[in-house]
Amino acid sequence: MMSVTEFQVTFDCEDPRRVAAFWGHVLGYVVEDSGVVCVDPTGTGPRLYFQRVPELKTVKNRVHLDVRAGSGLVGAERLAKLENECARLVTLGAVRVQLLPADDENESCLVMQDIEGNEFCLD
């Protein structure tokens, strides 16, 4: 049985170059010369491809990225780290949607949107 170990994440978008530049800044990825592909400079993360589609985003994403800004942190320390990263991403054009507070099963995370309204979480 063959298993696939390499994949890319593809974003449908209105302005691929703009969205690629945004995600390049968010993740510290390098935008390739094409302007529509971002790659992890360490080679460990997935390739991101941004393709133009004619329709605008109209509903919630079925799949989203979790940006792991608070890994290993809990409580106030985690919230502070998430808030700092949120502030940085807002300067890039992201929108803060809501804080999902910690509960019995999950630590806190922040729901956000990229510059075309695609949801993602600061986790």
Pairing label, strands 8-13, 95-100: unpaired
Question: Residue 5 has what pLDDT?
Answer: 77
- Whole-number Å distance between alpha carbons of 20 and 114: 11
Confidence of residue 84 (pLDDT cuts 50, 70, 90): very high
Q: What pTM value is reported for the model?
A: 0.91
Confidence of residue 58 (pLDDT cuts 50, 70, 90): confident
Taking residues 90-119, what's their average pLDDT? 95
Contacts of 18 (CB under 8 A, 6+ apart): 115, 116
Question: Residue 6 has what pLDDT?
Answer: 85
Q: Which amino acid is at 4?
A: V
Percent of the chain residues past pLDDT 90, beyond the cut? 83
Write the pLDDT tens digit of every residue in 3-50: 877 899 999 999 999 999 999 999 999 999 999 999 999 999 999 999
